[in-house]
Each structure stands twice: as C-alpha cells, then as structure tokens.
C-alpha cells in the first residue's frame, strides 16, 4: 500500500525504495544459479512505476570448456505481488473498525 516494503522470505519485511541498493540486493538473492557465474554488473532498467514490474540488467561471465570466458548481458523481469505487510494490515484493520463505529 505504498509503504515500500518487500517480503524477504521466510517472513521478514524489508523497507526498500525503488531502484535502491537494498532492492537490487533483494532481487539478486531471488535468482537461482547466480552462484555458478561471476556477476560483473547489475543495474535497474526503467519501467513505469504503476506497472508493478521491476527489471534488472545483469552482466555475468563464466568459464566454459577449454578455458574460454563467456560474458553475457540479460534482463530479468520481476513482478511485484500486491501483499500487505503486517504493519499496513493492522493500520487498515484499525481504519475499518473506526469507520464502523
């Protein structure tokens, strides 16, 4: 609900601004297989704020057969799921109770 908190499994909510280092770190932790290659660069790709999408451009390189080094750039797209953190949930419940009374 605009509190800029993201769920870091198993149940911790982390406050991160859009395009911040903290959010980039959270996105990179969700990628599987990143430990098999060396991460050279990671940056955000601009998207509309209301699109509920976060795009991260990654540059990785790894060694292939024969000692050759392969470098690749690709974009990973994340979809922001709409969930309420515990604090926002309590706040909404309180507002609902106040409106009923």
pLDDT in tens, 5-22: 888 888 889 998 989 999
CB 92 within 8 A of CB 100: no
Which of 5, 1, 22 has the alpha carbon at shortest distance from 14?
5
- 66/59: higher pLDDT: 59
pLDDT on residue 53? 94
Q: Average pLDDT, stretch 40-60?
A: 94
* The residue count for the chain: 101
CB 34 within 8 A of CB 28: yes
84 pLDDT higher than 80: yes
Q: Average pLDDT, stretch 16-29?
A: 92
Domains contained in the chain, CATH given? 5-100 (3.10.450)
pLDDT on residue 10? 84
Between CA 53 and CA 33 the distance in angstroms is 22
Between CA 29 and CA 58 the distance in angstroms is 13
């Amino acid at each position: 609900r605009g509190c800029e908190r993201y769920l870091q499994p198993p149940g911790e909510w982390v406050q991160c601004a859009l395009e911040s280092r903290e959010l980039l770190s959270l996105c990179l932790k969700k990628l599987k297989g990143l430990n098999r290659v060396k991460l050279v660069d990671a940056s955000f790709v601009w998207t509309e704020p209301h699109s509920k999408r976060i795009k991260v451009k990654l540059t990785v390189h790894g060694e292939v057969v024969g000692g050759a080094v392969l470098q690749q750039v690709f974009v990973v797209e994340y979809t922001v799921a709409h969930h309420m953190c515990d604090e926002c949930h309590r706040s909404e419940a309180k507002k609902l109770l106040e409106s009923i009374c």
